[in-house]
Amino acid sequence: MRTPLIDNLQYANYSPAIFEQMRAGGVDAVHVTVAYHETFREMVLNLERWNRWFEDHPDLILRGTTAEDVTRAQETGRTAIFFGFQNPSPIEDDIGLVEICHQLGVRFMQLSYNNQSLLATGCYEDEDSGLTRMGRGVVAEMNRVGMVIDMSHSAERSTLDAIEHSARPIAITHANPHWWHPALRNKSHRVLKALTDAGGMLGFSVYPHHLRGGSDCTLDSYCGMIAEAASRYGAGNLGIGTDLCQGQPDSVVEWMRVGRWTRTIDYGEGSAANAGFPRMPYWFTDNRDFGNIRRGLQSAGFDVAEVDGIMGGNWHRFYAQGFGPA
């Protein structure tokens, strides 16, 4: 069986048309965001909506909770859907909800979004105090049950703390190196070296605010960045996490950046002049375009095994190591 194709972060406005595009693109698994700022109950309503999609489109998608589900999706011509949070708000202030969320199928949780949370500091805060006492407790609980710690939107010290305190490898599911493009959301060499030295995974983002040149970033530049990252950190801990937000209305950007924490608009990585979703680069607009990335990696000098790993094999191995109880 071929190595699976996995996109380890999307927040598209899902529909049967997008599920069809996943199949047309040969995408075997996708990690989808089911919470930004939702409470536990609101997150459960999002899972309920996914249950209806699984019921209505069993020929296209299936609910994924283990690495074996990726193989099952390949064998049956479907896409396995894995759930994750971009903020710990669904566990509220109750560490016991970590296990409950894992039992509901959640396999990834960011310890913070852009702001300070009860667990860690987000990348837009002025001061980064690192993991909180609750954060250290939640890291241990996530390790125990088999929920992956994700630090994609977290600040530097908090991320380094998470790598140090976690007994299992963690992930940065959707970001790029700061040395390639100095967006606040992108990660320093220090973080990426610590992450990969500890066996963690980096998923490269295609979201234009994370790209050198923004929406005009070229495929050669993007794949050259991945090649440089492989030379620094090795290819075995690298993957794709596109951060695809296909079909989402601009109002969703406001929900991502503002949630309920302010009455004013926080433009985050955008600007007042361009507050909506940016235009995607020409070489990646939806799930049918992963072949462009594969060809770009081949042109950048990666061999077949390295390309297969970056396009999904490395994430598949990480799933097998990270989703079960310690």
Q: What is the pLDDT of residue 270?
A: 53
Q: What is the pLDDT of residue 266?
A: 67
Q: Is 208 helix (H, G, I), strand (E, B) or coil?
A: helix
Asked if the structure places residue 144 within a domain, the reply is yes
The total number of structural domains in the chain stands at 1
Structure tokens at 55: 């019921």
Domain that holds residue 89: 6-322
Q: What is the pLDDT of residue 269?
A: 57
Q: What is the pLDDT of residue 154?
A: 98
Q: What is d(CA 213, CA 226) in angstroms, rounded to the nearest whole number?
A: 16
Give tens-digit pLDDT for 253-305: 888 888 888 888 766 555 444 567 899 999 999 999 999 999 999 999 999 99
Asked if the structure places residue 25 within a domain, the reply is yes
Task: Specify whether the CB–CB gap between 104 and 171 falls below 8 A.
Answer: no
First to last CA, the chain: 28
Question: What is the average per-residue pLDDT within 103-110?
Answer: 98
Asked if the structure places residue 257 within a domain, the reply is yes
Asked if the structure places residue 1 within a domain, the reply is no
Give tens-digit pLDDT for 222-251: 999 999 999 999 999 999 999 999 998 888
- For residue 42, give the CATH number of its domain: 3.20.20.140
Q: What is the pLDDT of residue 272?
A: 44
Give tens-digit pLDDT for 32-76: 999 999 999 999 999 999 999 999 999 999 999 999 999 999 999
- In terms of Cβ atoms closer than 10 Å to its own Cβ (0-12, 13-18, 19+), residue 292 is middle
